Amino acid sequence: MRICDDYTTVCEDYTTVCDDYTTVCDDYTTVCDDYATVCDDYATVCDDYATVCDDYATVCDDYATVCDDYTTVCDDYTTVCDDYTTVCDDYTTVCDDYTTVCDNYTTVCDDYTTVCDDYTTVCDDYTTVCDDYTTVCDDYTTVCDGGETQEGSRWTFPGITQKLKQI
């Protein structure tokens, strides 16, 4: 029957498209899961850096106070406090670098969140459409495999045409 052949073509086309969507969305899922893992690792490392740099800040502030006191007591403070200056300057460089890296991590991971949220929306929509296609094509299979009726010279398929129009 011509109408069943037409239904077969349409449903086979739907199958191809939905299979392609499945492949793409599965790939997105893998990539986004990998991003999530990497960004979680960055978050842990940057939190650790923040703790260490806060500790350095406390120690260097203490050194500054002590060295100011040394200034009023003796001239030998110079060597010790020069060393303190070197160490605390290094701390500043390292912690500034940490800030730059972690700011970049934040930007990248925010972008990842946006992209993966969009992917979720698109793939949820695909799931809805392809679930509808499955329902309609399952109905078509039932009808074309023996449940059809004939009215005069026309074959009728109750409900199937309407369902295909809906998706």
Average confidence (pLDDT) over 81-110: 83
Beta bridge pairs of residue 150: 155
pLDDT band at 150 (very low <50, low <70, confident <90, very high): very low
pLDDT of residue 32: 84
Find tokens 């392809």 and name the residue: 130
Q: Report d(CA 119, CA 134) in Å as an integer.
A: 22
pLDDT per residue as tens digits for the range 8-39 = 787 788 888 888 888 888 888 888 888 888 88
**Predicted TM-score of the model (pTM):** 0.53
pLDDT of residue 151: 44
State the DSSP code for 76: T
**DSSP state letters, 103-119:** HHHHHHHHHHHHHHHHH
Find tokens 């100011």 and name the residue: 68
20-34, 71-85, 122-136: least confident range: 71-85
Find tokens 């003796």 and name the residue: 74
82-86, 108-112, 159-163: least confident range: 159-163
C-beta neighbour count of 126 within 10 angstroms: 17
Q: Report d(CA 38, CA 159) in Å as an integer.
A: 50
